[in-house]
Amino acid sequence: MFGKAVLAALAAAAILTLAPAPLPMHVAQAACEPGTKVDSTTADQTRKKLEGAGYRKVRDLKKGCDNTWHATAEKDGAATGVAVTAKGEIYPERDD
């Protein structure tokens, strides 16, 4: 009887040890909520919008559930994070 209890405790400890670590908060919140309406803007449209505003080498375009596109691009010779809202407004982003 004592052997079964020890085995059960070891099995429980092994399951807890193998469980994946929680994701950082910003990654965990990246998923869209049920019912979120994502607009129909495309990566190509967003790239053209950024290039029209003087950004070059636009890469890593990703759209968030808030309908904001996020990318890395160069402007005035410096690489920077940039966001384009659903209204077409362009904002610089920081890495912190």
Q: For residue 25, which phi and psi values (nearest 5 degrees)?
A: -55, -40
pLDDT tens for each residue of 41-86: 899 999 999 999 999 999 999 998 888 999 999 999 899 999 999 8
pLDDT score at 34: 73
Q: Write 82-85 long-range contacts (CB < 8 A, 24+).
A: 82/50, 82/55, 84/46, 84/49, 84/50
The pLDDT of residue 20 is 43
Please tell me the predicted confidence (pLDDT) of residue 61: 94
Domain range list for the chain:
2-93
Which residues 6+ apart lie within 8 Å of 21 measured at CB? none
pLDDT score for 51:
97
Q: Is the pLDDT of residue 2 over 90?
A: no
Give the DSSP H/E element, type plus range, for residue 57: strand 56-63
Tell me: pLDDT of 26 over 70: no
pLDDT tens profile 29-38: 456 777 777 7
CA distance 16 to 25: 21
